[in-house]
Chain A
Amino acid sequence: MKKLTLFILVLSCFEVFGQYTLEFFADTNQSFVSTDLNFQFGSNAINNKFFKSYYLGEYIDEELKATVKDKLKANNYFGGDLNINLLLKLKADTLFNRTDLYYLFGMEQHQHTNGSFSEDAFNLTFYGNKMYAGKDADISGLELYSFTYQAINFGLMKETRKNGVLAQEGFLFSIIKGQQNTSFLLTKGNLFTDEFGQFIDLDAQYFYNSSDTAQTGLSAFNGWGIATDLFTVIPFRKNDVLKVSIEDIGFINWNKNSIEVTGDTTYHFEGVEITNLFNLNDSLLNQLSKDSIVDNLNATNKKRKYAMSLPTAISLSYYKNLKFNNYLLASIRYQINTSYRPFFALGYRRYLSDNIAFQTVANYGGYEKLGVGFGFSVHTNNGYYLNLQTNHLEAFFIPQNSFGINGVINLAKTF
């Protein structure tokens, strides 16, 4: 039973998303409190060394840029999440005249970023436009999407035993406080630089939304929303288990101080027109102001509220008992409304004792490429649990040649 408990614990470690990563108590009398931190970033072009330098605010030299440039494709994407959750699972003595129900309460912080870009967009950003002298740079499809929110959660879960194995099903409902959102989409984008730099032509069609830029901190309340998670664990014979979950079915309404900027423009720039060369400063500064540039781009700029769908994630995981404390796992995950690709994982777990287990996993998809993960789980006899896992061990050893990084830290205590 403890092994099964641990198995489920380990199983849950494959769930790098979701607010209810702890369903590892076979004993239905047990409640628990847990907190976990999970983060991940991946790209099909940006390697971990580049990402680390960018994230830590370091200088990105030409050699580092080249490691990404060599891997660029026609369409490149990236994405990442940072989640922090606190969850309390509390047994209900009786609820609706039932004794197999549990309350779920929690809170979470969620930050998400994803985007896509063309090879030319990367080159323009990190190399500049000089390499495109006399040529077009196609930056169509440039997309950036990010949001941050905090939420409180509550739900119900039912646990029963089928064939001696724990079956679970439940839901988790979230009320969301939207902190910040930015989305930018360039449906059409072409930049031409004259051979001698005498003019630049921009042909662009773009959409930009942002929550209130005057309020961006943790206390910002720029929107509200709701979301629902649904999950079920179905045991089969011989201790095989199927787990299905759908997370973040929901939306956020951003308030009326949100910004919407759209434009469809062809802009020809030959330099700032100076009427008085001998008063250069004022002439240049006045025409290079952000507002004047926006005006020149014929952007439609208005404040209005808008709604945003959350990126809903669907996960399926199948556990196969190989006997003698060995288990095999296969997992599929997909997230809509992002540039996330279908994610596949194949793992192996082994119990070293009743209190310790480890696992390895090979995975592919999501925002990143092939990865090899490792996890470690331990619990004490008085009910403390610790899980540490990553799906990309290679990120720590060969950052220049790895394209994803993630980690999960989970602490739990039963009572």
Chain B
Amino acid sequence: MQKLLKYWLVIFSLFFLLFSCKKDKNGPQWDVDVLAPILKTSLTLDQLITDSLLSTNPDTSVSLVFNNNLFNINTDTIFEIPDTTITDTYSPNFSINATPGFQFYANNDETTISASNGAQLKYAIIESGSIKLEIISTIQEKVVVQYDIPSASIGGQILSITETIPAANGSQNASFNKIYDISGYELNLTGTSGIDFNTIITNASAFIDPNGQTTTISPADNIIFKITLMDIVPYYARGYFGSNTINIGPSSTNFNFLNHIISGTIDLEQVSLNLDFENGIGVDLQTVVNNLSTENTNQSTAASLNHSIIGSTINLNRATETGSIPEVNYAIYPTIAINTNNSNVDQLLEILPNKLSYDMTLTVNPLGNTSNNNDFIYKKHVIKANLDATIPLSFVANQLTLVDTFDITVEEDKNGNRVNYGTLNFFVDNGFPLNAYLSFKLLNENQVEIKTFNSLENIPSAPLNASLKAVGKESKQLQLTLSEQDMEAFYNSKSIVLQVSFSTPQQPQFIKIYDYYSIDLKMVGDFNFRVSAK
């Protein structure tokens, strides 16, 4: 019976496993026709243009605003303290029997450093920098070296270096080198007389190690001292910074503000630029704007500014020291207004530029040493030129084409549910006074175009009242038919390039954009959909 039971359990188990275990098989599939809304959105200006670029005027119309820093002139441009090496060599004229502790060398020296642009520095505070001390000795005993730089001090203490140089060994010289950080040190560059400039005082002395042995120093022996000022960056400097001319440009900078616009024309009703100069340095300045222009390298167009400022001399007074924080009172030149009334500035933007070019000259101390060596500079206070632009969104546009690319992933779900084909219906309520035309391209993962859809119809402008203000919205239904191949392209796409061309109605009148304008979009899918049940 046991054998029988066992046999029957096997049969039962076979039945059980065969019919009850969940089979990992595909589920049934069928196609359905689905009509359903997919998404809805309302596009306002702040979604199309970065908030920081928009400004709402009192009448609720909108202006584009942006700020561009043309240049900053700081310490490096006015002058630099180059790396400077001071070399001192000791060699006796006759042999000396040097006992331990015997001072065999002492020398006080003044050295002039060469600041660039003819700067005559009296005083400086070091923000960062170092001193490198190198010593080579042939003396056959340890030598203690003391190197003082009375010109450098911190907290009232002068820079003093004491080091023990190892003994030379026969013909093998002894060498020593070390780097000392002098950040925070004050440099008095007036020398011993107190009226010089760019002058460093050094005191060097050397004596036999008190714990050493008596040694003979012969005329063949020598000690070479090298002290190098390295990477000196002043936080503050005073003196006379020379009279020289600095060329700013000709130079170009990328102008990305309009980089989404690829074609078309625009006529701006008004453009307003404010050019500001601020002088945070204690020097007199004279600047000349030789050229300000824009360029569209894609269309090979360029426009140069015609304004009274071009070629004119602008005199900037020197800043003054406050003795407190902030350290300086900036000298500010009155704002230079550049607008469509006094220039062709609108043309600079209407070519839809991608480059901004400028060429300026800056003369430091055009009248010489009028400050009596009291020019000053703080590293953090510079000479600045800023360009503030305000562009009211009032314009005439003709096929002005914007393009943007954004990522999208359309995937079958893991069970195999997918859209076979169908139609995308777009219900558009346009509250903008713009006629628009949409098209888009699908790109694969290698950014290669796999499908272009140009079939969407024109979206008409919102109706306008007598003041050319949009009142209400214009409704339009657009249809995009998607074949099976089109859907396959969607599934293979990784990004969409959306292109919108728009034109203003009632040309040649300028159309103003108000902040409450919006466009409502609803996308409805009318699809044949493959259901994969599992």
- Does A273 belong to the interface (CB within 8 Å)? yes
Q: Nearest Cβ in chain B — how far from A178, in angstroms? A: 14
Contact partners of A82 in chain B: CB under 8 A: 19-20
Q: Nearest Cβ in chain A — how far from B32, in angstroms? A: 3
A33 and B5 contacting across the interface, CB-CB below 8 Å: yes
- Does A139 belong to the interface (CB within 8 Å)? no
Measured CB to CB, the nearest residue on chain B to A133 is B35
Contact partners of B28 in chain A: CB under 8 A: 53-60
Say yes or no: A35-B8 contact (C-beta < 8 A), given A128-B529, A271-B39, A272-B39: yes
Which of B5, B22, B35 contacts A217 (CB under 8 A)?
B22
Instruction: Please report the C-alpha to C-alpha distance between residue A88 and residue B1 in the assembled complex, in whole angstroms.
Output: 11
Say yes or no: A128-B32 contact (C-beta < 8 A), given A82-B19, A271-B522: yes
Say yes or no: A86-B30 contact (C-beta < 8 A), given A111-B20, A197-B526: no
- Does A28 belong to the interface (CB within 8 Å)? no
Say yes or no: A33-B4 contact (C-beta < 8 A), given A60-B28, A84-B19, A197-B524: yes
- Does A324 belong to the interface (CB within 8 Å)? no
- Does A274 belong to the interface (CB within 8 Å)? yes
Count chain B residues whose beta carbon lies closer than 8 angstroms to a beta carbon of A: 46
Which of B25, B34, B47 contacts A57 (CB under 8 A)?
B25
Measured CB to CB, the nearest residue on chain B to A57 is B26
- Does B41 belong to the interface (CB within 8 Å)? yes
- Does B367 belong to the interface (CB within 8 Å)? no
Say yes or no: A109-B47 contact (C-beta < 8 A), given A60-B28, A128-B529, A270-B522: no
Contact partners of B409 in chain A: CB under 8 A: 281
Measured CB to CB, the nearest residue on chain B to A65 is B30
A198 and B522 contacting across the interface, CB-CB below 8 Å: yes
Measured CB to CB, the nearest residue on chain A to B528 is A128
Contact partners of B427 in chain A: CB under 8 A: 196, 198
A253-293 contact mask (Cβ, 8 Å, vs B): 1 or 0: 00000000000000001111111111111001000000000
- Does B100 belong to the interface (CB within 8 Å)? no
Across the A-B interface, how many residue pairs have beta carbons closer than 8 Å?
A: 138
- Does B525 belong to the interface (CB within 8 Å)? yes
- Does B314 belong to the interface (CB within 8 Å)? no
Say yes or no: A280-B406 contact (C-beta < 8 A), given A271-B523, A271-B524, A415-B4: yes
| Secondary structure dominating the interface of B | strand
Instruction: Please report the C-alpha to C-alpha distance between residue A60 and residue B32 in the assembled complex, in whole angstroms.
Output: 11
Contact partners of A409 in chain B: CB under 8 A: 15
- Does A396 belong to the interface (CB within 8 Å)? no
Instruction: Please report the C-alpha to C-alpha distance between residue A409 and residue B15 in the assembled complex, in whole angstroms.
Output: 10
- Does A130 belong to the interface (CB within 8 Å)? yes
Contact partners of A62 in chain B: CB under 8 A: 31
- Does A193 belong to the interface (CB within 8 Å)? yes
Measured CB to CB, the nearest residue on chain B to A109 is B20
Say yes or no: A198-B37 contact (C-beta < 8 A), given A33-B8, A35-B15, A84-B20: yes
B40 and A277 contacting across the interface, CB-CB below 8 Å: no
Which of B4, B40, B407 contacts A274 (CB under 8 A)?
B40
A84 and B37 contacting across the interface, CB-CB below 8 Å: no
A200 and B37 contacting across the interface, CB-CB below 8 Å: yes
- Does B43 belong to the interface (CB within 8 Å)? yes
Interface residues of B in 6-57 (CB under 8 A from A): 8-9, 11-12, 15-16, 19-22, 25-41, 43, 47
A274 and B524 contacting across the interface, CB-CB below 8 Å: no
A395-408 contact mask (Cβ, 8 Å, vs B): 1 or 0: 00000000000000
- Does B457 belong to the interface (CB within 8 Å)? no
Q: Nearest Cβ in chain B — how far from A369, in angstroms? A: 23
Instruction: Please report the C-alpha to C-alpha distance between residue A126 and residue B47 in the assembled complex, in whole angstroms.
Output: 40
Q: Nearest Cβ in chain A — how far from B416, in angstroms? A: 11
- Does A152 belong to the interface (CB within 8 Å)? no
A413 and B4 contacting across the interface, CB-CB below 8 Å: yes
Instruction: Please report the C-alpha to C-alpha distance between residue A128 and residue B425 in the assembled complex, in whole angstroms.
Output: 18
The residue in A54, A125, A128 that gathers the most chain B C-beta atoms within 10 A of its C-beta is A128
A130 and B41 contacting across the interface, CB-CB below 8 Å: no
B30 and A60 contacting across the interface, CB-CB below 8 Å: yes
B11 and A411 contacting across the interface, CB-CB below 8 Å: yes
Q: Nearest Cβ in chain A — how far from B293, in angstroms? A: 32
Instruction: Please report the C-alpha to C-alpha distance between residue A274 and residue B21 in the assembled complex, in whole angstroms.
Output: 44
Q: Nearest Cβ in chain B — how far from A57, in angstroms? A: 4
Measured CB to CB, the nearest residue on chain B to A85 is B12
Contact partners of A278 in chain B: CB under 8 A: 47, 404, 406
A281 and B407 contacting across the interface, CB-CB below 8 Å: yes
Which of B27, B32, B406 contacts A127 (CB under 8 A)?
B32
Interface residues of A in 83-110 (CB under 8 A from B): 84-86, 88, 107, 109
- Does A39 belong to the interface (CB within 8 Å)? yes
- Does B161 belong to the interface (CB within 8 Å)? no
Interface residues of B in 408-464 (CB under 8 A from A): 408-409, 425, 427
The residue in B25, B35, B409, B529 that gathers the most chain A C-beta atoms within 10 A of its C-beta is B35
A59 and B8 contacting across the interface, CB-CB below 8 Å: no
Contact partners of A86 in chain B: CB under 8 A: 8-9, 12
- Does A308 belong to the interface (CB within 8 Å)? no
- Does A315 belong to the interface (CB within 8 Å)? no
B12 and A218 contacting across the interface, CB-CB below 8 Å: no
- Does A129 belong to the interface (CB within 8 Å)? yes
A40-61 contact mask (Cβ, 8 Å, vs B): 1 or 0: 0000000000000111111111
**Subset of 13 A-B contacts with CB under 8 Å:** A35-B12, A35-B15, A84-B12, A128-B529, A193-B36, A196-B524, A197-B425, A198-B37, A218-B22, A277-B41, A284-B39, A413-B8, A415-B4
The 6 closest A-B pairs by CB, nearest first: A128-B32, A271-B37, A130-B33, A197-B35, A86-B12, A128-B33
- Beyond A409-B15, A415-B4, 5 additional contacts (C-beta under 8 Å) are A57-B28, A129-B34, A269-B37, A278-B47, A280-B408
